[in-house]
Amino acid sequence: MAQTLERTQQPEGLKSEVESLFERHCVHCPRDQCANTLECERTQQLVTWRAEDLKSDVESLRSHSSHCGRDQCANTLCMIKAISQHVDVCHEQACSDLEKASQLITEALQRKVQRNMALRILVHRLEKRASENGWSLSEQVESNRQLKLQVDELQKHLQDKDNSLTQANQAIAVLKNELRDLQQQLQSHQSSHGTIQEVTVWLQEGESQHTVGKGEESLLQPLVIGIKEEDADDNIADKDAVAGDNDDGYQYGADPPTEQTTSSPADIKAELVQEDEGESAVAPDLSSGIQPPSDPVTLRSLSVQLVDCCTTQANRPTMETRSLCGRKATQGDSSDVAKTLFPADSSLGGQKPVTAVKIPPASLQAKRRKRLLANTAGDVIKEIERNEAGRVTHLEIRLADRTAHLAAENVRLKAEIDSLKRVTFNSCIPSPDQHADVTLCDVSPKDYAWIRCQSHGQVGRYGCLLFRSIISEQHYRHWSKTTNWDGSRGKRALPQNVKKFVISTLQREFPSMGGSDLKDCIDKINEYLRTTRRSHAVCV
């Protein structure tokens, strides 16, 4: 009976053992993290129920043994044996359930440990990466600081350069102003020096004129007599000369030949001085080297200078002279005129007629100068044309070559356009075994931009991406492995609207597209339809 009672107390110990194990498991593995918590709870409830049943049976036996006599001991022993057997079976079942629960808990703990190890490794990697990022950030900050310092130094250097450049510009402006002032001073000094020289020359000429005054009167006396005797004839000759001069282009203007009424050598001298002044006004650059026309020597030098001036400035081939003592005009070369007008120095003592050089009017000189410039310009133009003849020929040859090249290029482009038209027409011909027209998907401007970016200027890739954008997933699944562009090799052809849309879009995006580009596009679309891919949508 005592053994039976001891056995009946075992369920309570089993219950306490299960509860302690369950509490330890819950401490190490919380309920929200354990995968088999529900099964453990069920095992605990089962053990608790069995222990309570055994306890109730033991209490009933105790109460029954106290009220019954010895006659019923055998029945009681049988019941106790049955209860003990039942307790043993329950104990074994509880042990097996407990082992299973412990095994499940162990597996859950092992998985948790493995997960914790993986998390630990991941945390370690993240910490290492964070440290590396920190080092890189610190290095980047240091490099940025160095670059900032360099930029500051460069800005300072640039500012110094700007300041030095500004100072240099100011110094240049000051030097220019000083140079301008110096030039003005130099010009003023030169002008004053030239004026002083002119005054000096004029004074020297006046002195020489006073020294030869008496000799002039004796030399000009016979000239005055000759002029008085042939006055009338001279007027007629002057009129004829004026007519001839007008025919040749000479114009006297306001100074026609008039009657000479000079009656004294002083008047003749004054007239010659006035004529010399008029000639010096017409022919420039002669005042500095001409003395007053006081004697034949001076007149001779004056004539030579006038001849040189007219030869260099007006480029006149001949000179005209008019005798002061006769009516006959003299024409000829400048050297001959000079010899005719003024004989050698040895013959100055004789009474020879003195002649003066006739200067053409300013208008005639301007005309001659203009004619000379025109001739010179014509010669220069001819010389330029002769020198540039080779270059013009070279340019003409290059122009011809360029024209021929452009013509050939034009022919090639026309042929390519014709071939493109033929290829386009052939590519859009309806096929007897062709799919019906389908509804195309809308392509947004964003999709067009993405396709343009991904194609990298390749016509075939652009056409394939466009084809993928306008057909749906259902059509692609239905057409793959059974359809191609033109329906060759026993397959069906693509719908007509799909082909037209692809070709028109390619022609709009690539105006210079050729037949080879379109063939490449068709090959890529056929390659895309040859197999069934997992994903058909174009990622934008």
Q: 319-323 and 355-357: which strand pairing?
A: antiparallel
d(CA 419, CA 425): 10
Domain total of the chain: 3
Do 438 and 296 fall within a single domain? no
Q: What is the pLDDT of residue 427?
A: 53
Confidence of residue 23 (pLDDT cuts 50, 70, 90): low
Residue 230: which residues within 8 A CB-CB, separation 6 or more?
325, 326, 327
Residue that terminates a domain, selected from 364, 397, 421: 364
Residue 181 reports pLDDT greater than 50: yes
Mean pLDDT of the region 422-440: 67
* Torsional class of 535: left (φ above 0), alpha (ψ -120 to 50), beta (otherwise): beta
Q: 319-323 and 329-332: which strand pairing?
A: antiparallel
Do 238 and 334 fall within a single domain? yes
Tokens read off for 193: 């020096």
Q: What is the pLDDT of residue 420?
A: 61
Confidence of residue 20 (pLDDT cuts 50, 70, 90): low
Contact 370, 319 (CB under 8 A): no
Confidence of residue 110 (pLDDT cuts 50, 70, 90): very high
Do 260 and 319 fall within a single domain? yes
Mean pLDDT of the region 205-213: 55
Q: pTM above the 0.75 mark?
A: no
Mean pLDDT of the region 23-43: 52
Do the domain assignments include residue 123?
yes
Tokens read off for 348: 């100055």
Contact 438, 475 (CB under 8 A): yes
- Parent domain of 460: 430-530
Do the domain assignments include residue 398?
no
Do 243 and 174 fall within a single domain? no
Which range scores top for mean pLDDT: 30-39, 129-138, 221-230, 405-414? 129-138
Confidence of residue 396 (pLDDT cuts 50, 70, 90): confident
3-state SS, residue 323: strand
Do the domain assignments include residue 490?
yes
Tens digits of residue pLDDT in 67-88: 555 556 677 677 777 777 777 7
68 vs 98, higher pLDDT: 98
Mean pLDDT of the region 396-425: 73
Do 248 and 178 fall within a single domain? no
Residue 364 reports pLDDT greater than 70: yes
Q: What is the pLDDT of residue 538?
A: 58
Residue that terminates a domain, selected from 170, 187, 204: 187
Q: Nearest Cα to 226, choosing from 353, 65, 78? A: 353
Do 257 and 164 fall within a single domain? no
Mean pLDDT of all residues belonging to the chain = 68
Do 246 and 182 fall within a single domain? no
Mean pLDDT of the region 58-64: 64
Residue that terminates a domain, selected from 135, 164, 187: 187
The CA-atom distances, in angstroms, between 55 and each of 38, 45, 437 are 26, 15, 85
Residue 422 reports pLDDT greater than 60: no
Residue 120 reports pLDDT greater than 90: yes
Angle subtended by helix axes 496-509 and 389-427, to nearest 10:
160
Q: Nearest Cα to 213, choosing from 268, 145, 295, 132? A: 295
Tokens read off for 421: 């038209």
Question: Which of 5-14, 132-141, 376-385 has the least mean pLDDT?
Answer: 5-14
Contact 268, 278 (CB under 8 A): no
Do the domain assignments include residue 10?
yes
Do 178 and 227 fall within a single domain? no
Q: What is the pLDDT of residue 119?
A: 94
Do 330 and 440 fall within a single domain? no
Q: What is the pLDDT of residue 303?
A: 47
Do the domain assignments include residue 386?
no
Q: 483-484 and 492-493: which strand pairing?
A: parallel
Residue 17 reports pLDDT greater than 50: yes
